[in-house]
Each structure stands twice: as C-alpha cells, then as structure tokens.
Structure 1
C-alpha cells in the first residue's frame, strides 16, 4: 500500500467511477484499476461491488469504512508535512478564478473543501465573468479557474452540463405546473428580468421565441431573483441559481445550457488540478 493507491481509491469513491476518477487524476483507467486491485490484494478484501453492466463503481460497506480511514491518513500526512514548515515560511498561494454566476453556496463549499484538502496551500478566490477569467489566466493573474469550458484539452476539463430554466415566483400561474415542465409558448409573452451576468450569446433568448418585453435589467443575480420572487417578471437562468423565493421550471423546447468545468494554466501542478476538480465535484455532498 502507498499514498498513491489511497489517492486513487478516494478519487474513485468520490467520483463514483473509475473513468471519472481517471479524468480527475489525469491518468489512464487501467492505472486506476491496477491501483485498486493492488490495494484490495493488500487488504485482503473487496472495496467495491462488481455489478455487471453498471457504470458506477459502488463501494462496499467495508469500502466506505476504509474510505474514512484513507481520508484521515492523507489528512494526517499533509498535516505532518505542514508541521515541518519553518515558522516564518509563507504558504504558497493558489489563485483560483470563479465564474460569477455560480451559486454562492457552492463557491463557499468549494473554498472550504480546498482549505481542508490541501491546508499547506493558501487558496485565493477571485470571481468574474467568463471573459474576465480568461483574461486573468492569459495575463498570469490566476492559476486555475472553475468556469465555462468547451471540450477536454491539455488545460481544460469539462465536469457537467447545466440547463437554463425559467425562474418564476411562487405565486405565478405556472409555479404549480403538473410535472414541473413548460413549453416556450407558455412563457413567450411574459415580461423578462434580464440578467446582465448571463453568458448566453446575444439574441439567444429572442431566437428561442421569447418576446423580450423587458421588466427590468440588472447585473446582480440576487436582485434579479428578488424581482422574480416579487412577481415583476420571469428570468432565464442556470438551474443552480434558484433560491427559496422562486420556482425553477425546465422548459422542454428551450434547448439552452452551459458546460461547467476546470481550466488551468500550463505548468499548474497535478495535485492542484486534482484538488480543485475534486472539491468542485463534491461541493453538494
């Protein structure tokens, strides 16, 4: 058993699969599978259930217990390394860009997770628009970012795709729609609260069939959703931005979404990329 095996095991549990874990770790799937087999041989027990045809890798009861111990072992190891640091030695800083339209609760959870996972680093967060983040990265002002991404590349890794939904007040006529799904025709004539932070291309909402009767414009997502909650109009926004005061309704024929992932500068350490990816993926667990 070695620390690499433990890191691979923890990644598989948190990513719920060998393929996703390999992507996070930036290694091959056979390398992850081999590490798991070696760890199981060393422990003399199976850590995961083998279900034919299942895409998910499910830990056994003993596997979940070992996950807790493995996490503690790695945490103690990092703590031991930190204790050897000279008192006057400053912590290295990792500058993280965060897309401004990500949910604040998720961003706070990720920051706390990063501090817990790699306490020997100081994590500095800076939020901005997609274009600001890209500019900061090109200028060397941030090291890694949780933002919009395109396809997988040497410096970019998609994590999930999020649909845009329509936000309405809890008193809106559509709030109790059976099945919670509407059509563009149901909202086409509704007054809109336009979000200045929206990443959709100019004209996307009009092209989707909305009348663009503007009730309000704001660069603040919190204000936009407050206006929606008060019945001023509806808003089109990523599903994760929904708050207690509004109802998020999927629009069957809207067809708008955004792809969220991690982007980094060339030369960023693998451990940093893995830590940020893991924290983002486990933000709601």
Structure 2
C-alpha cells in the first residue's frame, strides 16, 4: 500500500463514486479500482460493497475503521510537510489571539527584542477558539491561547502560565459605576455589548448567563475590543471582558463579579506534542510564559 492509495480510498469514502474520484485526481477509473483492490488484498478485508438495489457504493465497517486511521495518517503527513518546510527557516509561526496580543504581548516584547527573537516571529492572529485547529493542522508552531478550562488533548502540550478573572465593564456614567462589584444575576435587565464567538469570552459569558437563569439582551457583538470599549464609554451597553483587556482607562469603570462560582480566563502556551522544538522555539518558551501584574 502507498500514500496515493490512501488518498484514493479516503476520497472514495467521501464521494462513494469511482468516476468522481478518478476525475478529482485526473486519473482513469481503473486506476482507482485497482488501488482499492490492492488495499483489500493486502489488508484481507472488503472495504466497499455495491448496493445494487439503490445503485450505491456502501462503505463496510472495515472500510469505516480504516478511514479513521487513514484520516489520521493523511493529516499527520500534511503536518509533517509543513514542519519540514519550515525547519530550515529561522522563523516561528506564532499564534496570538487579539486580546492576548494587545494586552499581554507588550509585556514580553522588550525581552524578546533583547534576545534577538522578536523579528523571528511570523505572527498569526485569530481567536482562541480557532487557534487550536491551526496548531493541530501544522499551520502554527506555537500559540498563546485563552481558555476557561485547561486545554486537554493527547496531541498537544499546553502549559497554563497565567490565570485572570472576568470583569464587568460599564461607562463611568452608568448607574453601576457607583459600585465596585456586582452579582451577575443583577445584570439580567442590562444591555450587553460582547465579543463574538471567535473569542473564548462568549463561552464564559453564556456559562454565566445559564448559571443565573437569564437570557441576555445583546445589542451588539464585535471582534474588535477597541470598538467595544468605545461603545461602553458612550454608555450604549455594558460588557463582559477578561481583566487582561481592562487596564485603567478614562470613561470605563471595571466591576468585580461577586459570584463565588465563575470561570477563569486561563492563558496557556500550546504546541503539538509530536513537534520537535528548535533551539529558537525553546528560547521563546523560556521567555513567553511570564506572569504580568494586572
């Protein structure tokens, strides 16, 4: 068996049509047929059967099991190709979600600069919810990722280096600005301006609303913290943000959430467990996981 046969087999599981698969790979239909027969012969199992009554190709249980393994093999091959292409490069594909990039990264940038590492980073920005997929598929070497629970995946090394709280941000002109803390259930009638689903904030926010048994009145979702803060200052609504994104700022009052049971915002540095770290990446790992004074 060879890699081409795996590609043909996996595509046939998806399309269940020999001619479509042959057209996709720009080969003859007999090429696909023979490849599948070779796989069946080598493995000693039947991978497909024809349902003549419905004129369909059916994947056998053995075929379904093989496809699980083949999917993993093909994914690992793609990751391998990306890693090998970059191994001679003096660049690190580095994932940095917007909030972490804006409010955490400046704290470590001077040390990275002194170590001659800052220009070695090829920074990729995306929300924490998407970043894990980019690590797993080999697009990124390392990433700083926010989560509300420890990241557990047998394919990943994830090390928590900072734990922060979520806060409520209101305009200095909002009635709540007279308080220093608030119970989340007291916000049931408030208008919210929140980050969209690309951010882990939405998961934490939904969890808090569910625990307090109310459906929030969300008037705007944004992927830009600066826009969100501008709207808060105009007293258009209140927001739910990690304290990492809420340094002292004129026009905004930050309230503690008084609930005893609430999610934390966890910062982790993440990379694939199978990835062999270069000296450059090891140097980054020594500098990046630094606690900051909030």
TM-score bucket of the superposed structures, by smaller chain: 0.5 to 0.7
Q: Does 1:206 align with 2:209?
A: yes
**Which segments of structure 1 move beyond 6 Å, counting only runs of 4 or more?**
none
CA distance in 2, matches of 1:225, 1:102: 16
Which digits, 9 at most, give the CA deviation of each residue in 1:87-145, with x for residues without a partner? xxx97111211122326142234344323224497122111112332122122221111
Structure number with bigger Rg: 2
Asked whether the 8 Å contact 2:167–2:243 carries over to 1, the reply is yes
Q: How many residue pairs were aligned?
A: 194
- Give the one of 256, 277, 287 matched to 1:268: 277
- Give the one of 139, 142, 155 matched to 1:141: 139
SS in 2 for 1:250: strand
- Give the one of 257, 263, 267 matched to 1:251: 257
TM-score, normalised by the number of residues in structure 2: 0.57
Specify every segment of 5 or more residues in structure 1 that has no aligned partner in the other structure, as ranges: 1-89
SS in 1 for 2:284: helix
Q: How do residues 1-285 of structure 1 correspond to structure 2 at under 5 angstroms?
A: 92-102=90-100, 104-119=102-117, 122-148=120-146, 150=150, 155-177=157-179, 180-196=180-196, 197-199=198-200, 200-201=202-203, 203-209=206-212, 210-243=214-247, 244=249, 245-253=251-259, 255-265=262-272, 266-269=275-278, 272-273=281-282, 275-281=284-290
Which digits, 9 at most, give the CA deviation of each residue in 1:52-104, with x for residues without a partner? xxxxxxxxxxxxxxxxxxxxxxxxxxxxxxxxxxxxxx971112111223261
SS in 1 for 2:105: helix
Post-superposition shift, 1:280?
4.0
CA distance in 1, matches of 2:123, 2:109: 8
Asked whether the 8 Å contact 2:184–2:208 carries over to 1, the reply is no
TM-score, normalised by the number of residues in structure 1: 0.59
Aligned residues: CA RMSD: 2.9
Post-superposition shift, 1:157?
0.7
